[in-house]
Amino acid sequence: MMGLLKDKVALVTGGSRGIGSAIVRRFAAEGASVAFTYLSSPDKATALCDELAAGGGRVKAYRSDAALFDESEALVEAVTADFGRIDILVNNAGITRDNLMLRMTEEQWDEVIRVDLKSVFNLTRHALKSMLRNRGGSIINIGSVVGVFGNAGQANYSAAKAGILGFTKSVAKEVGSRQIRCNAIAPGFIETDMTHGLDDKNKEAFLAGIPLRRLGQADEVAQACVFLASDLSLYITGQTLSVCGGLNT
């Protein structure tokens, strides 16, 4: 541990599994106090809190649906009451509901836009208040390489992730004068539950296009988050950092 996030308070959405849980672990290891949310995995959230508390970290889990505006406001109020402030917000919660365009249901479209895109508005809108009071902060939005390049079968997801990139740049321009930074991370193909369902044929095709010739690990995304959350990146805002093994090169 290098203490890169010492004395900072972070809020991470979707911290119960995958990339989110890796971010929570890394942030705690770098000395941050970490609040994180979960929705349908209470046991995993509790286990993560117990694991990090045993290591001396200050970590707390909150059940909160990131797609809901009012629930996000209540969450931010609870975290601010418990931790006093929010210095870092990571909008990580996300889902996929893949289908070819002609078969995609209205429900599949709406659900992905709500959970993957509206959530980013919900949390940013409310957490900004604390950051404006502190005259500083770092917002990190987890996008995806498919938000840049598109992907057959993922029109809903790609639209949400591309939306995140435009949102990130706009917020960066709006709050930069208050020393609040807003950046996006675009992961490529990372090994989590989300990509578990992909068949081997698909994986092989993906690997051929990845210069590093392997899938990424959740912790490798978490390390990029530490950089953007910490004072190592104080002059970086409005940017998208790809963590994709070179996939988009």
Q: Which residues bind ligand NAP (CB under 6 A)?
A: 13-14, 16-20, 37-41, 65-67, 92-95, 115, 142, 144, 187, 189-190, 192-195
Residue 51, classified by CB atoms within 10 Å of its CB into exposed (0-12), middle (13-18) or buried (19+), is: middle
Residue 127: phi and psi, rounded to 5, are -70, -25
62 a catalytic residue:
no
| Calpha distance 167→122 (Å, rounded) | 12
In the complex, least distance from residue 184 CB atom to ligand NAP, rounded to whole angstroms: 10
- Cβ closest to ligand NAP, residue 172 vs residue 244: 244
CB 10 within 8 A of CB 33: yes
Tokens of 158: 């790609």
Q: Measured between alpha carbons, how far is 216 from 25 in angstroms, rounded to an integer?
A: 17
Shortest CB 65 distance to ligand NAP, Å:
5
Q: Is 67 left (phi over 0), alpha (psi -120 to 50) or beta?
A: alpha
Q: Measured from the CB atom, is 92 or 240 closer to ligand NAP?
A: 92
For residues 175 and 24, give the distance between their C-alpha atoms in angstroms, rounded to a whole number. Answer: 25
Q: Which residue in the block uniquely carries the two structure tokens 């429900």?
A: 107
CA distance 230 to 222: 12
Q: State the minimum distance, in angstroms, from the CB of residue 179 to ligand NAP.
A: 26
Cβ of residue 238: shortest distance to ligand NAP, in angstroms? 19
Q: Which is nearer to ligand NAP, 77 or 231 (CB)?
A: 77
Q: Which amino acid is at 111?
A: E
Nearer to ligand NAP, 67 or 128 (CB): 67
The sign one gets for the Cα dihedral 146, 152, 156, 157 is negative
With respect to ligand NAP, which residue has the nearer C-beta, 177 or 193? 193
Asked if 59 and 52 count as a contact pair (C-beta separation under 8 A), the reply is: yes
Judge whether 222 and 190 are in contact, CB under 8 Å.
no
Q: How far is the CB of 116 from ligand NAP (least distance, A)?
A: 6
Q: Which of 38, 62, 157, 235 is catalytic?
A: 157
Q: Which two tokens stand for residue 157?
A: 């997801």
Active site residues: 157
